[in-house]
Amino acid sequence: MPTPSENTLFGMGNPLLDISAVVDKDFLDKFGLKLNDQILAEEHHKALFEEIVQKNKVEYHAGGSTQNSVKIAQWMIQEPHKVATFFGCIGTDRFGEILKKKAEEAHVDAHYYEQNEEPTGTCAACITGDNRSLVANLAAANCYKKEKHLDLDSNWELVKKAKVYYIAGFFLTVSPESILKVAKHASENNKIFCMNLSAPFISQFFKEPLMKVMPYVDILFGNETEAATFAKELGFETDDIAEIAKKAQNLPKENTKRQRMVVFTQGKDDTVATVGEKVTRFPVLDIDQNDIVDTNGAGDAFVGGFLSSLVKEQAVEECIRAGHYSANVIIRRVGCTFPEKPDFQ
């Protein structure tokens, strides 16, 4: 089994500082939030960020979907450090400093594009029971510029070093041209490019950039809700998750040397994945309902575990087993956090 070297895994996305707090239903209603939804903050949500900090005992964690996943991949791998590279945009402020420190502690090789026009992005995780509603205020994360960062020789060298690439669909709202440049590089060099459907609103409102990238996607991740929305938007005319996976697998693809793999998680229900020509179901690890602390980050953690085995060139069954393990660890804790070392055999 090959040991991955530094910068084997490349991630690019929206680095956000997660502000998580337990709230009540009134708080959700006040800001028009739905259970288990992910949305981008609008004008009327601005007050939410101030209120959540004043009102409740909050926890701050380095977040952002892609950054979470590469951080968990690095945690699962342990050694060497800096197997994972991460690009994204932050502000020159206190929250930005926290993110830099947290990335360093997680042994991720983060190279942020820093600008001072917008503050570092935040994501309010409003937790009620075992549900969570996420409101992201991208701010600086929205300011990522291909020509100011990705195109710089020193940064592009890091992209070229990687063998596996992962970008959450959320980044389609920021810099689709950056995603395409990386995706085409992966495709032309027969490397593995992975993407996540991320949230229903991506398929609904960013379908055009999503479908521009799709021909370069080797592995597509998503959950059952995102899969259903994706199917609806593309006119698949089915709500059977296995059928949706198959149809997504068969969408046009540039690099024909690799068959596309589609992996859909369904919370406590089986994970569904296309393995070769067939669709296979993989049961998740059992967990007592009382042990679930926070499902925020479960999907990111699954991808992180999956990627940690993928960079070691392991079979899909192993990748999914690692994904199930890391998701199981994460949901027992607040935020996308983890113990010092994994206990994964």
The per-residue DSSP string of 123-191 comes to EEEEEETTEEEEEEE-GGGGG--IIIIITSHHHHHHHHH-SEEEEEGGGGGT-HHHHHHHHHHHHHTT-
Alpha-carbon distances, residue 199 vs 111, 195, 325 (angstroms): 25, 12, 23
214-259 tens-digit pLDDT: 999 999 999 999 999 999 999 999 999 999 999 999 999 999 999 9
91-134 tens-digit pLDDT: 999 899 989 998 999 999 999 999 999 999 999 989 887 788 89
The residue extents of the domains of the chain are 9-16+63-119+139-331
Cα–Cα distance between 307 and 80 in angstroms, integer? 15
pLDDT, position 50: 84
Angle at CA of residue 327, ends 200 and 325, nearest 5°: 140
Q: How confident is the model at residue 287 (pLDDT cuts 50, 70, 90)?
A: very high
Q: What percent of the chain has pLDDT over 90?
A: 81
Q: How confident is the model at residue 56 (pLDDT cuts 50, 70, 90)?
A: low
Of the residues 109, 218, 294, 300, only one is catalytic, namely: 300
CB 46 within 8 A of CB 135: no
Angle of helix 316-330 relative to helix 298-310, nearest 10 degrees?
Answer: 140
| Active site annotation includes 93 | no
pLDDT, position 36: 80
Cα–Cα distance between 207 and 153 in angstroms, integer? 31
CATH number for the domain running over 9-16+63-119+139-331: 3.40.1190.20
